[in-house]
Amino acid sequence: MTKTLTPVQSRLLAVAILLLALAGVYVLVVWPLLAQHRTYDEAIAELTYRLQRYQGMAVQSAALREGLDEVKQQQATSSYYLKSSKAALASAELQQHVKARVADHNGQLVSSQVMPDAADDAFPSVAIRVHMRGDIRSLRAILHALEMGTPLVFVDEVFITQGPRRRSRRDEREANSLDIRFKVTGYMRGESA
């Protein structure tokens, strides 16, 4: 038993089937295409952002290279480093520098000893251990001259004790004498500079 539809019902059924077919085409064809298009738009936006960022970096890199070249040139002519590029010569230069500062400020250099290299350092340096005698004023002047002058040196591991006492106190300077030990580190100009 089949029931026949009235013309209005058949038209409504036809419109419903047409709408269902159009919805199926939209869901199966158009919607995936639009989703893919959105994915491509997002990828294009991300890549455009990256491109702009990289272009900005490229512009900056030229300026940074110029700055780096300028710094390298300044390092090559800088008086902040020890003049010698060999460790033995730089150690001797550092010892002479310390000896001159101690003599300039009325200190008495007892000894200076080259310390072993630290081969794993990123920057080539030399260090010496200094043993000297002097009063507190000369110590202050010597440390100030070492740390504020050129070449740049770093003073650390400072040990200060009272100097040897003598039975006769005929000289006030001897009575105020200090026994001073410290380490001085200076940096050599790198091989690549």
Whole-number mean pLDDT of the chain? Answer: 85
pLDDT of residue 10 exceeding 90: no
Q: How many alpha carbons fall within 13 Å on the CB side of residue 99?
A: 10
The domain boundary, picked from 17, 48, 77, lies at: 77
Residue 67 belongs to some domain of the structure: yes
Do 98 and 155 lie in one domain? The reply is yes
Residue 73 belongs to some domain of the structure: yes
- Alpha-carbon distance values, 115 to 75, 82, 87, 98, 179 (Å): 25, 16, 11, 14, 20
pLDDT of residue 110 exceeding 60: yes
Q: Are 180 and 139 in contact (CB under 8 A)?
A: yes
Give the tens place of pLDDT for each residue, 30-87. 888 889 999 999 999 999 999 999 998 888 888 888 888 887 777 666 778 888 878 8
pTM of the model: 0.57
Do 73 and 95 lie in one domain? The reply is no
Report the alpha-carbon distance of residue 156 to residue 158 in Å, rounded. 5
Residue 192 belongs to some domain of the structure: no
Residue 49 belongs to some domain of the structure: yes
Do 72 and 10 lie in one domain? The reply is yes
How many domains is the chain partitioned into structurally?
2
Q: What is the helix (H) or strand (E) element at residue 47, kind and residue range?
A: helix 31-77
The CATH number of whichever domain residue 100 belongs to comes to 3.30.70.60
Calculate mean pLDDT across residues 132-160: 91
Domain of 154, in residue numbers: 87-187
